[in-house]
Chains A and B, each alone.
Chain A
Amino acid sequence: MLYREVGEFKPSYKKDQQTFPIRLDRYGYYAILAFAFCVIPFLINDYWANAILLPFLIFGIAAIGLNILTGYCGQVSLGSGGFMAVGAYACYKLMTGFPDLNIIFCIMLSGGITALVGIMFGLPSLRIKGFYLAVATLAAQFFLIWLFNKVAWFYNYSASGQITAPERTLFGEIVTGANATPEVAYLVCLSFLVVLAMVARNLTRGSVGRKWMAIRDMDIAAEIIGVNPLMAKLTAFGVSSFYVGIAGALLFSVYLGAVEVGEVFGIQKSFIILFMIIIGGLGSIFGSLAGAAFLVAMPVVLKNVMVGQLGWAVDLAAHFEFLIVGALIIFFLIVEPHGFAMLWRIIKEKLRLWPFPH
């Protein structure tokens, strides 16, 4: 009734291939963007920014990154936490080593450095597949965390072993450090997410993305068609690590400000990002964001309900939170193994006919 595509004609292939071929989707997308850029910055406060919005945006970037590797190219990675750490430490070294370098360049360069590290750890993927590759990336996770713990050069020989983001500004506004305002931090992260999501969309809809998906679905047939498997896998590792590295750099510099590597970038982070894309939907950019939103917001919502509404003790609520989040993950996986993205697609299919199914 409301959601339909009747009367929409696509006179050219260009129109048919656009990101949102249905007009209503397109307007919805513009509306959400306008709301996110023009309204939320005026409503935001510290609590919303730190509890929900910033982690959502940052983990959204990381989830898109991992989805490119795992969802589109079919290479399982458990090293996301380690690659985020590379991004964070690269950003720290760049910020402290080149104080005049703009923070945006620092973050982008950190992504680039992480991409190189990711390509290096992606080299074994030509020989090993599936679970075995997952174990190899697990090695990357543990090695990188160990490296950043052991080699004092990475944390500039600070006594605590932590890295702390110095204050940097962008257009006169403080972006990093303790004095940054939530709306500026939010806008920086949002801009990164929007641009990177669009880049991911462009990459996955063209021949690069089809090469990745061909490798994922049937690598022998892909090779026969002209896909160089090594190049396809390494570009996937590179692009994916670039995203994860930027997420790590943002997490460190804009969101947390100070980081202890084992605590923030441990193996749990790798798993959480993997859960995000599995729950959200493998091979879907919308799914990455939906999964990130779910796993970021769910604990906060549960905590508010249990502690705020029901008045339970905080530690009891914390334990229950694990139980419920775990149960919800299982529930959603049983209901729709292909994740929120598929659920959303099915809802849209149904809506096309609703409420007159004939």
Chain B
Amino acid sequence: MTATDSYQTPDGRTIGPNVMEMRNISLRFGGVKAIQDISFDIHEGEIRAIIGPNGAGKSSMLNVINGFYHPQEGEILYKGEVRKPMKPYEIAYQGIARTFQNIALFKGMSTLDNIMTGRLTHMKTGMLEQIIWSGRAEREEVENRAFVEHIIDFLEIQTIRKTPVGRLPYGLQKRVELGRALAAEPSLLLLDEPMAGMNVEEKEDMSRFILDVNDEFGTTIALIEHDMGVVMDIADRVVVMDYGKKIGDGTPSEVRNNQDVIDAYLGVSHD
């Protein structure tokens, strides 16, 4: 399939044109080449997986998209325009949200406050209005609270609304983190190993939520995951990385039959 066109998935969803395109991205830390000349695109409404062995540069790739790292070479097209180098918080305002490999919730705050914090990009009142509180600040708070409650219902975490997240079990924390990212109503959602360390039931729940998010909100999702079963099941297209290079790109079945990918995962004798 060509890079910029819409396409149909086997299950009948129509995937739109691309929202993000990485062109020849290279990222080096001193002599270490974390990412070498990688290009791929993410289409609107699709679930795009990035897989690869440990140290392949997957998280670095997300950090590039997020603006934590600035690649030495290459350019990023977002919504059809070349993106200038930006700070991570500016990129948040562009509609890119993410979750982290190790949970990065605000431990001292309640579930509700965590997800409300995810709405920051939608809250406009300034400090003076907040000091007075009644009026615009309060109205804005209530409006955003209503949206957050919608997400809380969606993720089925109503009962832990006011619990400090530090006290929650791991699986629920992952779910709250997903909620926090969703609260931003992102046009592109990055998930860094959303199922790491979960048992089978929790993985099923999380897969269901990811599919539902994609289905109900139409959110474009890029995710890193190690569980091949999950990736092959939920992803529309998969990028495979190894040692900072792209070794495969395509639908799950294409990737599964790619000889380079099989070699990277199963190992091959270098002779």
**What is the chain B residue whose CB lies nearest that of A206?**
B130
A226 touches B66 (CB 8 A): no
Whether A217 lies near B108 (C-beta < 8 A) is yes
- Tell whether, in the assembled complex, residue A225 and residue B123 are in contact, meaning their CB atoms are under 8 Å apart: no
* Contact call A213/B106, Cβ cutoff below 8 A: yes
Interface size on B, residues (CB 8 A): 39
Selected from A12, A202, A225, A228, the residue in CB contact (under 8 A) with B132 is A202
B175 within 8 A of A: no
Q: Are B108 and A225 in contact (CB under 8 A)?
A: no
**Contact of A221 with B109 at beta-carbon distance under 8 Å, contacts A17-B142, A202-B130 already known:** no
The answer to whether A226 and B106 have CB atoms under 8 Å apart is no
- B contact residues around A211 at 8 Å (CB): 117, 120
Q: A203-B127, A210-B116 are in contact. Are A226 and B108 (CB under 8 A)?
A: no
Interface residue? A343 (CB, 8 A) = no
Q: Is the CB of A221 within 8 A of B100?
A: yes
Are A225 and B92 touching (Cβ within 8 A)? yes
Name the residue on A nearest B148 (C-beta): A13
- Closest chain B residue to A15, Cβ basis: B142
Known interface pairs A207-B123, A210-B109; A228-B100 also in contact (CB < 8 Å):
no
- A231, closest chain B residue (CB): B89
* Least distance between B147 CB and chain A CB atoms (Å): 11
**Shortest distance from the beta carbon of B120 to any chain A beta carbon, whole Å:** 5
CB under 8 Å from chain A, chain B span 5-39:
none
- Cβ-based interface call for B254 (8 A): no
Selected from B104, B119, B184, the residue in CB contact (under 8 A) with A221 is B104
- Complex interface: chain B residues within 8 A of A12 (CB): 142
Determine whether the beta carbon of B133 is less than 8 Å from that of A218. no
* CB-based contact A218/B130 at 8 Å: no
Give chain A's interface residue range (CB within 8 Å of chain B): 20 to 34
Does A283 lie at the interface of the complex (its beta carbon under 8 Å from any beta carbon of B)? Answer: yes
Q: Does A227 contact B (CB under 8 A)?
A: yes
Are A218 and B92 neighbours in the complex by a CB distance under 8 Å?
no
Q: B88 in the interface, Cβ–Cβ < 8 Å? A: yes
What is the bound-complex CA distance between A135 and B200, given in angstroms?
Answer: 49
Asked whether A202 and B131 contact (CB < 8 A) given A210-B117, A224-B66, the answer is yes
Cα distance A224–B118 when bound, in Å? 9
B130 in contact with A208 (CB, 8 Å): yes
A216 neighbours in B (Cβ, 8 Å)? 106, 108
A213 and B113 in contact (CB under 8 A), knowing A228-B89, A235-B127?
A: yes
| In the complex, the 3 A-B pairs of residues with the closest C-beta atoms, listed nearest first | A226-B92, A217-B106, A221-B104
10 A-B residue pairs with Cβ-Cβ distance under 8 Å, sorted by A, are A202-B130, A203-B130, A206-B133, A211-B117, A217-B107, A218-B106, A221-B105, A223-B92, A225-B118, A228-B89
B residues engaging A (CB < 8 A)?
A: 66, 68, 87-89, 92-93, 97-98, 100, 104-109, 113, 116-121, 123, 125, 127, 130-133, 137-138, 141-142, 145-146, 149, 180, 184
